[in-house]
Structure 1
Amino acid sequence: MQTIDFCDFQRIEIRVGTIIKAENFERAQKPAYKIWVDLGELGVKQSSAQITARYIPEDLIGKQVICVCNFKPKQIANFISEILVTGFDDGNGGIVLATPDHKVPNGSRLH
């Protein structure tokens, strides 16, 4: 594993937000959802998330997720993904979302 300096970590904007909208992303090459995340002071940002193996859109609404907010936007088909919603491989190819275990204010930064 490569090590980094603490100042490198500080450059990454990792924040929490609440999913306010989720829908199937029909034009994605791999199964995915379009999701919109309320990040408090940063506003609402959108992301393409390949989390279809473990979640359905209706169950995502209101879920807080941990996001990387300062990657360059990426175009995926006809959609611009502005943030990266983080998660972990479940060992079977599905992704389990990274979430706080208690509700925190949207936009809170990871320390």
Structure 2
Amino acid sequence: MQTIDYSDFQRIELRVGTIERCEIFEKAKKPSFKLWINLGELGIKKSSAQITQVYHPKDLIGRQVLCVCNFPPKQIADFMSEVLVTGVNNEEGHVVLMSVDKPVPNGNRLY
């Protein structure tokens, strides 16, 4: 594993947001959802997430997630993904979202 300086970590804008809307992303090549995430002062940002094996759209509304907010936007089919929702693989190799264990204000940064 390559080590980095703390200043490298500080360059990554990892922020908490609340999923306010979720739809099945029918035009995506791989099964995905379209997410609209409230990131506080940053506003509502969109993301595409390949998490359909673990989650249902109605279960995601109101969930707080950890997002990388300073990657450039990425066009995925007809949808512009503005943030990256973070997650880790479970035993089956499906993505499980990273979240907080207690509610925090939207837009708060991970340090």
Q: Structure 2-normalised TM-score?
A: 0.99
Q: How many residues align?
A: 111
CA distance in 1, matches of 2:91, 2:12: 26
Q: Secondary structure at the match of 1:107?
A: coil
Are 2:31 and 1:61 equivalent residues in the alignment?
no
Q: Secondary structure at the match of 2:62?
A: coil
Q: Give the 4+ runs in structure 1 shifted more than 4 A.
A: none
Identity, % of aligned pairs? 64
CA distance in 1, matches of 2:53, 2:33: 11
CA distance in 2, matches of 1:83, 1:3: 25
Q: Over residues 5-44 of structure 1, what are the superposed CA-to-partner deviations in whole Å (9 max), with x where a residue is unaligned?
A: 1000000000000000000000000000000000000000
Q: Structure 1-normalised TM-score?
A: 0.99
In angstroms, what is the RMSD of aligned CA positions? Answer: 0.5
What amino acid does structure 1 have at the position aligned with 2:71? F
Gaps of 5+ in 2: none
